[in-house]
Chain A
Amino acid sequence: MHDGLSVMHGSTKGRAERYGVSMDHTFPPAASDRFPGGRLAFPHRDLTGIGHLERHEILYLLHEAQQWVELNRRSAKHAGLLSGLTIINAFFEASTRTLLSFEIAGKRLGADVVNMHAAQSSVKKGETLIDTAITLNAMRADAIVIRHGSSGATQLIADKVDCPVLNAGDGSHEHPTQALLDALALREALVRRGEDSEDFTGLTVTICGDILHSRVARSNILCLTAMGANVRVCSPPALMPAGVAAMGATPFLDFDEALAGTDVVMMLRLQTERMAGQFIPSAREYHHLYGLTSARLQQAAPDALVMHPGPMNRGVEIDSDVADMLDRSIVTQQVEMGVAIRMACLDVLTRTARGVEGWENEA
């Protein structure tokens, strides 16, 4: 796999040697040919959403992540890039996989990672979000990763702290690292099939599930369309947000129509509390209309790929045999790419603080 290290800016040159990553691939082409140098490649302090990013900035993060995919597959997975830095994972909403993924990402880069769970924090004692942010800031974190149940909460905190803030999911707004890892997993799968393309031009992706409440859907619509894909969204009417077409996605109510000829099917988790009758009559009925079965998958393009951000409700939105199809399902690759993407984001966003050449703050 591609390394992406030999072409870095000054002070990170030689990182490949330091970490022993191989450098013998040619795809994708060298970063210096495709991305602006230094901070111009990613001129944002925070990663609050895909909506703030340009296409080339998305591609740059994917490019940066590829080196960590390689590292993560080795038995010695440590890189000391972020040693001495403190990363706080402030999770105001329950999470297992995203928290774990960020923790592993930080630790593999050598950072000191601290997890703050809302359940054991002063949030329970009535402290406001702003005060919590100020407290975290006073502890001199070098990066703060935030998950919160309210849309816009990450931005609110980002406005109050001095270090980079990464959005690990805010309400129904955005979950940018999920969309980036989905893009990376998808691109890897396409490359494995011999489709060496940097972006998704001409590809049709169908996202099916609770679009209304899903931050994963929003970030993916923005990310996939920025990368050239045709995005279809499919859900029961009560779970389809108004004006989704204005975001660049084509809405479908009929799952079979949405599946016809699609190259990728991305199934979203249906929250149990939404199945209780307010939005849809029952889980059984949801599966009847919107469950991805192997028979339904036949209507998609031959060899269509299946994705799911997890955790899956097997037998509700996706059948086990589809979820476990070795040649079609890339669900486990998505999880794998998650660590690499988060390493890349942590690396890129802390470059200014680490004084990496070319990444200094503008005067």
Chain B
Amino acid sequence: MRQMRPVVITGGRIVTTGGVIDGTVRLVHGLIDAAGPDVEVQDGDEAIDARGKLVAPGLVDFGVFAIDKPAFHFGGITRAALMPDQSLPLDHPSRVNFIAKSGKPDLWVHPLAAATRGLAGSELAEVALMRDAGARGVASGRRWIGDSGVMLSLLQYAAMLDLVVVAHAEDAALAGEAAATAGEIATRLGIPSAPAEAETLALARDIALAEMNGARIHFRQVTTAAGFELVRQAKSRGIAITCGITPAHFMLSDLETADFRTFARLSPPLRSEADRQAARAAIADGTVDVIASGHDPRGAEDKRLPFADAAPGMAGAETLLAMTLGLVRDEVIDTSRAFELLAAKPAELLGVEAGRIEPGYEADIAIIDPDAPWIIDRSRMKATADNTPFDRQGTQGRVTHLIKGGIAIAR
């Protein structure tokens, strides 16, 4: 399906990397033709009135575990990078190829290839073949690659292929079967826990290995004060390192797990309040590059279990935008930085011409009422499962129109 008629979005506040400007966005042949105050509406253009709304790039959700179109569209997500942790791991070119085509036309899915066969962490998978089959990065999956030799080979190989390596920063031996961060809450509940330093250890090793060969490494989630400090230092040395976070780790702390609430069982686990504050500071000072949903819908069979037996993960696609706009309302970041975290930067990591409102970029647009209030209600979610840790929380910010490649998506 191709965009037949030019579309103009008028009257809105356009979110650009330089700031928010009043103006018109014109979309032609699936691409952004022009954006700004001087753009003229031409005869035959289809007009969308965006008065009072934000006209923002469609979100690029970096690192989801399931393709969940209704939830993505509700949340303004037009592209998603899919983690290789599927029932059959994305460690084979044909699976990657299949996934790369799976969401089109109204959702583009960018597969992240499994770094190792079966995600077992021991033998490199066919990364180059998977790149050519459509993989936009290579990921260690939910787990850390414990073998430093394998990790070094991976980083060297990915550097040669110019693929970003997406890593999970939790030292596997230290984390073990832990379901919580060591501390008072885990001790009171009697839940197996690991010290927050499991993250620092993993980061320090992977940064050192990446530094050896100039590989691009992206830590999908950094969640501790000490972890952000390591990333900050590495960036100041000029290493090609980026990191992300999900709203859970800047909104919630391990207090949320009291009463054994399994919807708050995440990987990495929720951290202390001090780490949560450090996360907000790291988002504010530019240490964090990406905010992603980590969307991982889990049904009752995975979640209605004793805490440590429950599967980690949260359904986050629907709340990603509202939670990030919360950071704008709290004056942690401004609006244009919010969309750099949600769209521009993740698109850049994936090497796709999207995530920005600039001429020549993909016409993926979310028109957003940033102040619209709503209550997160797990019984009314679009996702395939209702495991949100934000249930019953009031929030603000909703997508009113979503456009993928110049074509409006019915939602």
Bound-state CA distance A113–B183 (Å) is 40
Which of A130, A148, A156, A243 sits near B187, CB closer than 8 Å? Answer: A243
Bound-state CA distance A296–B230 (Å) is 47
* Segment 114-131 of A: residues with Cβ below 8 Å from B: 128-130
Bound-state CA distance A180–B188 (Å) is 18
Q: What distance in Å separates the Cβ of A207 from its nearest Cβ neighbour in chain B?
A: 14
Which of A71-79, A168-176, A253-261, A349-357 is the contact stretch? A168-176
B306 at the interface (CB under 8 A from A): yes
Q: Looking across the interface, which residue of chain B has its beta carbon closest to that of A160?
A: B304
Q: Are A242 and B305 in contact (CB under 8 A)?
A: no
Bound-state CA distance A1–B3 (Å) is 90
Residues from chain A with Cβ under 8 Å of B301 in the complex: 128
Q: Are B186 and A242 in contact (CB under 8 A)?
A: yes
Q: Looking across the interface, which residue of chain B has its beta carbon closest to that of A157?
A: B306
A16 at the interface (CB under 8 A from B): no
Bound-state CA distance A128–B190 (Å) is 21
Q: What distance in Å separates the Cβ of A137 from its nearest Cβ neighbour in chain B?
A: 15
On chain B, which size bracket covers the interface?
A: 20 to 34
Bound-state CA distance A133–B330 (Å) is 44
Bound-state CA distance A244–B183 (Å) is 8
Bound-state CA distance A27–B97 (Å) is 80
A246 at the interface (CB under 8 A from B): yes
Q: Are B193 and A242 in contact (CB under 8 A)?
A: yes
Q: Are A156 and B182 in contact (CB under 8 A)?
A: no
Q: What distance in Å separates the Cβ of B256 from its nearest Cβ neighbour in chain A?
A: 14
Query: CB-defined interface of A141-180 with B at 8 Å, one 1/0 digit per residue?
Result: 0000000101111011000000000000011111000000
Residues from chain A with Cβ under 8 Å of B259 in the complex: 155
A247 at the interface (CB under 8 A from B): yes
Bound-state CA distance A150–B184 (Å) is 18
B195 at the interface (CB under 8 A from A): yes
Q: What distance in Å separates the Cβ of B193 from its nearest Cβ neighbour in chain A?
A: 7
Q: Are B190 and A171 in contact (CB under 8 A)?
A: yes
Q: Are B308 and A150 in contact (CB under 8 A)?
A: yes
Residues from chain B with Cβ under 8 Å of A171 in the complex: 190-191, 306, 308
B307 at the interface (CB under 8 A from A): yes
B309 at the interface (CB under 8 A from A): yes
Q: Knowing A156-B260, A241-B182 touch, does A151 contact B187 (C-beta < 8 A)?
A: no
Q: Knowing A151-B260, A215-B190 touch, does A156 contact B184 (C-beta < 8 A)?
A: no
Q: Are A152 and B188 in contact (CB under 8 A)?
A: no
A218 at the interface (CB under 8 A from B): yes
* Segment 26-72 of A: residues with Cβ below 8 Å from B: 51
Residues from chain A with Cβ under 8 Å of B189 in the complex: 151-152, 173
Q: Are A150 and B187 in contact (CB under 8 A)?
A: no
Query: CB-defined interface of B120-151 with A at 8 Å, one 1/0 digit per residue?
Result: 00000000000000000000000000000000
Q: Are A156 and B188 in contact (CB under 8 A)?
A: no
Bound-state CA distance A244–B193 (Å) is 13
Residues from chain A with Cβ under 8 Å of B193 in the complex: 241-242
- The total of chain A residues at the interface (CB under 8 A) is 24
Q: Are A218 and B195 in contact (CB under 8 A)?
A: no
* Segment 292-314 of B: residues with Cβ below 8 Å from A: 300-301, 304-309
Q: Are B195 and A151 in contact (CB under 8 A)?
A: no
Q: Are B190 and A243 in contact (CB under 8 A)?
A: no
Q: Looking across the interface, which residue of chain B has its beta carbon closest to that of A174?
A: B190
Q: Are A247 and B304 in contact (CB under 8 A)?
A: no
Residues from chain A with Cβ under 8 Å of B187 in the complex: 218, 241-244, 246-247
Q: What distance in Å separates the Cβ of A155 from its nearest Cβ neighbour in chain B?
A: 6
Q: Are B306 and A246 in contact (CB under 8 A)?
A: no
Q: Looking across the interface, which residue of chain B has its beta carbon closest to that of A153?
A: B306
Bound-state CA distance A171–B306 (Å) is 10
Residues from chain B with Cβ under 8 Å of A153 in the complex: 306
Bound-state CA distance A151–B305 (Å) is 10
Which of A51, A128, A155, A170 sits near B188, CB closer than 8 Å? Answer: A51
Query: CB-defined interface of A219-243 with B at 8 Å, one 1/0 digit per residue?
Result: 0000000000000000000000111
* Segment 156-199 of B: residues with Cβ below 8 Å from A: 182-193, 195
Which of A156, A170, A172, A215 sits near B304, CB closer than 8 Å? Answer: A156
Q: What distance in Å separates the Cβ of B258 from its nearest Cβ neighbour in chain A?
A: 10
Q: What distance in Å separates the Cβ of A248 from its nearest Cβ neighbour in chain B?
A: 11
Residues from chain A with Cβ under 8 Å of B184 in the complex: 242-243, 246-247
Q: Are B309 and A150 in contact (CB under 8 A)?
A: yes
Bound-state CA distance A244–B189 (Å) is 11
Q: Are B306 and A148 in contact (CB under 8 A)?
A: yes
Q: Looking across the interface, which residue of chain A has its beta carbon closest to that of B179?
A: A151
Q: Are B188 and A242 in contact (CB under 8 A)?
A: no
Q: Looking across the interface, which residue of chain A has its beta carbon closest to that of B187?
A: A241
Q: Knowing A129-B305, A171-B308, A172-B191 touch, does A152 contact B260 (C-beta < 8 A)?
A: yes
Q: Are A151 and B304 in contact (CB under 8 A)?
A: no
Bound-state CA distance A271–B306 (Å) is 22
Q: What distance in Å separates the Cβ of B377 from its nearest Cβ neighbour in chain A?
A: 20
Q: Looking across the interface, which residue of chain A has its beta carbon closest to that of B261?
A: A152
Q: Are A247 and B188 in contact (CB under 8 A)?
A: yes
Bound-state CA distance A247–B306 (Å) is 22
Residues from chain A with Cβ under 8 Å of B307 in the complex: 150-152
Q: Are B306 and A243 in contact (CB under 8 A)?
A: no
Residues from chain B with Cβ under 8 Å of A51 in the complex: 188
Q: What distance in Å separates the Cβ of B123 from its nearest Cβ neighbour in chain A?
A: 28
Q: Which of B188, B189, B301, B305 has the most chain A CB atoms closer than 10 A to its own CB?
A: B188
Q: Are B260 and A242 in contact (CB under 8 A)?
A: no
Q: Knowing A152-B260, A218-B190 touch, does A243 contact B182 (C-beta < 8 A)?
A: yes
Query: CB-defined interface of B300-339 with A at 8 Å, one 1/0 digit per residue?
Result: 1100111111000000000000000000000000000000
Q: Knowing A241-B182, A242-B184 touch, does A155 contact B260 (C-beta < 8 A)?
A: yes
Q: Knowing A171-B190, A172-B191, A215-B190 touch, does A151 contact B183 (C-beta < 8 A)?
A: no
Q: Are A156 and B305 in contact (CB under 8 A)?
A: yes
Q: What distance in Å separates the Cβ of B260 from its nearest Cβ neighbour in chain A?
A: 3
Q: Looking across the interface, which residue of chain B has its beta carbon closest to that of A156?
A: B306
Residues from chain B with Cβ under 8 Å of A129 in the complex: 305-306
Bound-state CA distance A247–B186 (Å) is 11
Q: What distance in Å separates the Cβ of A36 from its nearest Cβ neighbour in chain B?
A: 26
Q: Knowing A51-B188, A172-B190, A173-B189 touch, does A151 contact B182 (C-beta < 8 A)?
A: no
Residues from chain B with Cβ under 8 Å of A174 in the complex: 190
Q: Are B195 and A242 in contact (CB under 8 A)?
A: yes
Query: CB-defined interface of A297-316 with B at 8 Å, one 1/0 digit per residue?
Result: 00000000000000000000
A-B contact pairs, 12 of them (CB 8 A): A128-B304, A130-B304, A150-B307, A150-B309, A151-B306, A170-B306, A172-B191, A173-B191, A242-B195, A243-B182, A244-B187, A247-B187
- Give the interface of B toward A (CB within 8 A): 182-193, 195, 259-260, 300-301, 304-309
- Give the interface of A toward B (CB within 8 A): 51, 128-130, 148, 150-153, 155-156, 170-174, 215, 218, 241-244, 246-247
Apart from A156-B305, A242-B186, list 4 A-B contacts with CB within 8 A. A148-B306, A151-B190, A172-B190, A246-B187
